[in-house]
Amino acid sequence: MKLVYKNMEKHINFVENTAYVVIVENKKYFRDMILQMQQAMLGADSNWVLSTNGKEIKLDKYTELILDPINLDCNTRKLLTNLYNEMEKEALGSEHFVQTAFVKSEILKFVNDMIQEVDYPFLNTDDFTFADLFKAVNVHFDTQNGDFLERLLNYVQVCARFQKKELFVFVNLKTYLTSEEIKAFYRDLFYKKIYVLLLENQESEPLEYEKTLIIDEDLCLVKA
């Protein structure tokens, strides 16, 4: 997987077990990089281009941009829809088919019993989905357990599994985590075969697993 930014002479070729850190000292250029990434995440034309095996792919489909790691929400409509669909697929599989058929029969029987109790003409359908059932009982991700790092990792894992995200781009992540926490975070991502890019506006001590690019105030690449 390769990520290219217009006017940045160095391209980012992602490989396993390596975190890429781009430090941009020019504030306007840094801001423009992030705004362009936001545009790409909306599916609009952008100066960022993501490709694999020489073929351009949709950046918003495979990438998650994280601007604020403190206020992450696993329970977005899109994530929950994907969760319910996966649960429904499991329910309809051979291992649970008999149980699922029984549960559906009992639910419909209960609904019909309640209609009779109300004693008013109603119409209902027998063709409900289990995805609708999971939504009705408010199945959702638990976002309260664990410390900050654990919740951050949980969010990444949820997006990787239920939205098939392969690349996670963080803005100024090193503001929030210690060096040891970042290295632990990297190891967990590498284990899951997840690519990571940090966009930072301040230089910091290089860490294990990192490959660093520095763009100075004059937009010169001073380290690669």
All residue ranges of the chain with pLDDT < 70 are 224
Closest of 185, 197, 199 to residue 157, by C-alpha:
185
pLDDT at 224: 63
C-alpha 60/C-alpha 122 separation (Å) is 44
Domain ranges of the chain: 2-73+163-223, 77-136
Say what the alpha-carbon torsion angle 61, 187, 74, 63 is, to the nearest 10 degrees. -10
Judge if pTM exceeds 0.85: yes
CATH 3.40.50.11940 fits 2-73+163-223, yes or no: yes
